[in-house]
A and B are shown apart, each in its own frame.
Chain A
């Protein structure tokens, strides 16, 4: 019965059905199903399918955002039961929209995906000057730094931030990923980034790969 419910829960995420998801989660908790099973076998499976639909062009950002909202809504019931000592650790990502740019939709979607995948995220917000990126890296010791920009007049600012990281001696300690509609791989290389993407799912895949490499180097198997 619980396998059936988990499949239905995944389908609720795919169908963007918040009420259905909440009701199933509440029912499974009453049945004594472990919260992590509900997350891993239900909600996350649904999000994976949403990601596939997004990449195939069937879903757009609107559906991705709504699926994240469904997942978040369902998680509210689970939070009191989650044992944080078992939380999957993938490292910290410091992220912000660069100076001069106040767009945050893409950044927020990326943050939802990162958090859902087990990363700790420090969101610096929008219109972030280079020195704030530098301060945040010193304070939070992330493994990944993400920069977002939507407008073509601000994307050069990403290069300025990378230069600041180099000048502060912080660049070698972090992976840098750039994101935004106008961003191309070629642009990323020219700016000195480790990766540049213009869709959130592709960004998540790269961050997951980096986290696996990092864990492999540590040999702690936390990912």
Chain B
């Protein structure tokens, strides 16, 4: 087979066809920052050229978000006032208190930002919440004011970036699910687990409110030409502690609706969950997802790649699997090569496999990163023995 472009290679694998070789498409955002000092799509293309891999370029989400954006970026919402106070503590950490007044009443929260955090309020999951904004059902009506109707917005840069990337990769638009950086940022996931048994209606309503927002947001991106949606569900992971029973009851129906919307536009649904997932693989397949990412092996995850291929590999494209810590960061070249070879031999035949990693590559020896990419190219050539 003639060599394919990166885009052709990735799309063929997602269609469960055997391309010229298994696409090598790990998440590398942090690595780009470490290596080039920037993590934009241009840096991704630069890295793909230097290290010879098949980039899946993630853009967005782009909508304003009161929940985790720093105050200077808050948009004006009629009737809503926000007062924020930042206080630096002697140990270098920052305490952030917020008071939000809405027509339905007042909301408050307190967070602690760690020393050297690059995120500020941007990634609520990496910020310690001392006081969650939602204390109970009485706060839901107030929170609705922080989720202005996103429908009808146009994101022209999606097509523009996809055009510039061209055959050099696949562009996906990232969307956080109802829980990730949304409901889970306002109300403790631990409490949600308890409330599932002790106050279920409240949790269902909280998730539904954010899910509707997510659906509207997704539709905007699809209307703007997104050809693949990267649905982030990692806060819903079994590794966070949700049981398969709760996952099936709370999250699978939302995933199914999300996938259907994406498929209605002819786009690809890429589900991101970097934790344990073996007990729910068939549920995810039934929900219609096209790609599952990151399928971490033990100890970080629970994935047996051969079993995953057997269970869902006929319909779902598998992505990821190579352990970031024990293999890429701490492993020897032999360990890296063996892990990559084994994964490709198990999941590569018949297509439907994108070699990746269990998490975004970072803090890894450069030689190991190069070794990983080389091994992917070396062992990934079809036909796979």
Q: Is A152 an interface residue (CB 8 A)?
A: yes
User: Given A100-B114, A102-B128, A152-B300, A66–B242 Cβ distance below 8 Å?
Assistant: no
B226-252 to A contact mask, C-beta < 8 Å, 1/0: 000000000000111111101000000
A2-18 to B contact mask, C-beta < 8 Å, 1/0: 00000000000000101
B151-193 to A contact mask, C-beta < 8 Å, 1/0: 0000000000000000000000000000000000000011001
Q: How far is the CB of A205 from chain B (nearest CB, A)?
A: 18
Shortest Cβ distance from B243 into A: residue:
A60
Residues of B with C-beta under 8 A to A152: 300, 324-325, 329, 358-359
Q: Is A77 an interface residue (CB 8 A)?
A: no
Interface residues of B in 360-385 (CB under 8 A from A): 362-363
Contact B194 A69 (CB under 8 A): yes
Contact B128 A62 (CB under 8 A): no
Task: A19 to B93: give the CA distance in the assembly, Å.
Answer: 40
Q: How far is the CB of A121 from chain B (nearest CB, A)?
A: 16
User: Given A152-B325, A152-B359, A182-B300, A62–B241 Cβ distance below 8 Å?
Assistant: yes
Interface residues of A in 103-161 (CB under 8 A from B): 104-106, 108-109, 125-127, 129, 151-153, 155
Task: A100 to B115: give the CA distance in the assembly, Å.
Answer: 8
Residues of A with C-beta under 8 A to B358: 152
Contact A105 B127 (CB under 8 A): no
User: Given A152-B359, A181-B299, A66–B244 Cβ distance below 8 Å?
Assistant: no
Q: How far is the CB of B180 from chain A (nearest CB, A)?
A: 14
Q: Is A59 an interface residue (CB 8 A)?
A: yes
Task: A106 to B189: give the CA distance in the assembly, Å.
Answer: 12
Task: A60 to B127: give the CA distance in the assembly, Å.
Answer: 25
Q: Is B126 an interface residue (CB 8 A)?
A: yes
Query: A-B pairs with CB below 8 Å: how many?
Result: 79
Residues of A with C-beta under 8 A to B299: 181-184, 198
Q: Is B4 an interface residue (CB 8 A)?
A: no
Contact B114 A66 (CB under 8 A): no
Q: Is A41 an interface residue (CB 8 A)?
A: no
Residues of A with C-beta under 8 A to B193: 61-62, 65-66
Contact B324 A105 (CB under 8 A): no
Residues of B with C-beta under 8 A to A102: 114, 126-128
B204-246 to A contact mask, C-beta < 8 Å, 1/0: 0000000000000000000000000000000000111111101
Residues of A with C-beta under 8 A to B190: 65, 105, 108
Shortest Cβ distance from B239 into A: residue:
A181
Residues of B with C-beta under 8 A to A60: 238, 241-244, 246
Q: Is A63 an interface residue (CB 8 A)?
A: yes
Task: A102 to B117: give the CA distance in the assembly, Å.
Answer: 11
- Report which of B115, B189, B242, B246 forms a contact with A127, defined as CB distance below 8 A: B115
Task: A189 to B114: give the CA distance in the assembly, Å.
Answer: 29
Residues of A with C-beta under 8 A to B112: 127
Q: How large is the interface on B (under 10, 10 to 19, 20 to 34, 35 or more residues)?
A: 20 to 34
Residues of B with C-beta under 8 A to A69: 194, 198
Contact A65 B194 (CB under 8 A): yes
Indicate the member of A62, A155, A181 with the most B CB atoms within 10 Å.
A62
Task: A152 to B221: give the CA distance in the assembly, Å.
Answer: 32
Task: A105 to B164: give the CA distance in the assembly, Å.
Answer: 42
Task: A60 to B244: give the CA distance in the assembly, Å.
Answer: 8
Task: A60 to B248: give the CA distance in the assembly, Å.
Answer: 14
Q: How far is the CB of A153 from chain B (nearest CB, A)?
A: 5
- Report which of A18, A105, A125, A155 forms a contact with B241, defined as CB distance below 8 A: A105
User: Given A105-B190, A155-B325, A181-B299, A126–B128 Cβ distance below 8 Å?
Assistant: yes
Residues of B with C-beta under 8 A to A100: 114
Task: A102 to B239: give the CA distance in the assembly, Å.
Answer: 15
Residues of B with C-beta under 8 A to A108: 190
Shortest Cβ distance from A184 into B: residue:
B299
Q: Is B196 an interface residue (CB 8 A)?
A: yes
Interface residues of B in 53-111 (CB under 8 A from A): 91, 93
Residues of B with C-beta under 8 A to A151: 359
Task: A129 to B238: give the CA distance in the assembly, Å.
Answer: 28
Task: A206 to B358: give the CA distance in the assembly, Å.
Answer: 29
Shortest Cβ distance from A58 into B: residue:
B243
| Chain B residues proximal to chain A, CB less than 8 Å | 91, 93, 112, 114-115, 126-128, 189-190, 193-194, 196-198, 238-244, 246, 275, 299-300, 324-326, 329, 358-359, 362-363
User: Can you offer 26 A-B residue contacts whose CB atoms are under 8 A?
Assistant: A16-B197, A60-B238, A60-B241, A60-B244, A61-B193, A61-B241, A62-B193, A62-B196, A62-B241, A63-B243, A65-B193, A65-B194, A65-B241, A66-B193, A66-B198, A102-B126, A102-B127, A105-B190, A105-B240, A125-B128, A126-B128, A153-B362, A153-B363, A181-B239, A182-B299, A182-B300
| Chain A residues proximal to chain B, CB less than 8 Å | 16, 18, 59-66, 69, 100, 102, 104-106, 108-109, 125-127, 129, 151-153, 155, 181-184, 198
> Nearest 3 A-B pairs (CB), nearest first?
A61-B241, A152-B325, A60-B243
Other A-B contacts than A62-B193, A102-B127, 17 sampled, CB-CB below 8 A, are A16-B198, A61-B241, A62-B242, A63-B243, A65-B241, A66-B193, A102-B114, A102-B128, A106-B241, A109-B241, A127-B115, A129-B91, A152-B325, A153-B363, A155-B325, A181-B275, A184-B326
